Amino acid sequence: MTDERSAVLAAVAALVDGLPRDPPARIAVDGVTAAGKSTFADDLADRITRPVIRATIDDFHRPRAERHGRGEGPESYYHDTFDLAALRTTLDGPPGAALLVDGVFLLRPELADAWELSIFLAVDRAVALRRAIARDASRMGGHDNARARYETRYFPGETLYLEAVDPERLADVVVENTDPDRPRLDRRPS
């Protein structure tokens, strides 16, 4: 791990450790697909001194029929993919703990009040798209299929979110994560 990454993780972990311990602190790690959310959250969890409960929004997918109720397009991805009510019911834990959740769309209005600390991983969208395609090509039937899926559903759905919500502006902490080995802490809470 690079010194730059270690420094950013240490700074964010200090913020988490400084949060009130009762009720448990709920922390969101948001960003577009392939921004590095899960890896950042896992690495952050290792640096937090209080007990950590890890979760991901990917554990809250609605059934396929509901996820695609409006079709295969970006609106369906943004509005229908995740069971936000079910996610909210799990945002609890023992006093003193930190519940660390990663995923897309975590700062949308339905969840905005759920977090004691919100982190947004900013990333160059072209870089994120390349990462996502490389990561998911084998699972999606090849590079061309993955590219088509990202260009018609996921990427435009995330654009809807970015434009409607502006999570980078709402987040307490913004980490520029285009190069995960050299992230940069762009904004801390005031």
Predicted structure pTM score: 0.94
Give how many domains the chain has, as a whole number. Answer: 1
Q: What CATH number should be reported for the domain holding residue 81?
A: 3.40.50.300
What's the pLDDT tens digit per position in 98-145? 999 999 999 999 998 999 999 999 999 999 999 999 999 999 999 999
Residues contacting 40, CB < 8 A, separation 6+: 9, 29, 102, 119, 121, 175, 177, 180, 183
Range of the domain at 102: 3-187
pLDDT in tens, the chain (190 residues): 899 999 999 999 999 999 998 889 999 999 999 999 999 999 999 999 999 999 999 999 999 888 888 888 899 999 999 999 999 998 988 999 999 999 999 999 999 899 999 999 999 999 999 999 999 999 999 999 999 999 999 999 999 999 999 999 999 999 999 999 999 998 765 5
Distance CA 3, CA 32 (A): 25
| Angle between the N-to-C axes of helices 37-47 and 3-17, in degrees from 0 to 180, rounded to the nearest 10 | 70
The strand order across the sheet containing 98-102 reads 52-56, 98-102, 25-31, 117-122, 173-176, 184-187
Q: Is the peptide bond before 23 cis (omega within 30 degrees of 0)?
A: yes
φ, ψ (nearest 5 deg) of residue 67: -60, -30
User: Using an 8 Å Cβ cutoff, are 87 and 151 in contact?
Assistant: no
Which tokens belong to 119? 């982190």
pLDDT value of position 190? 55
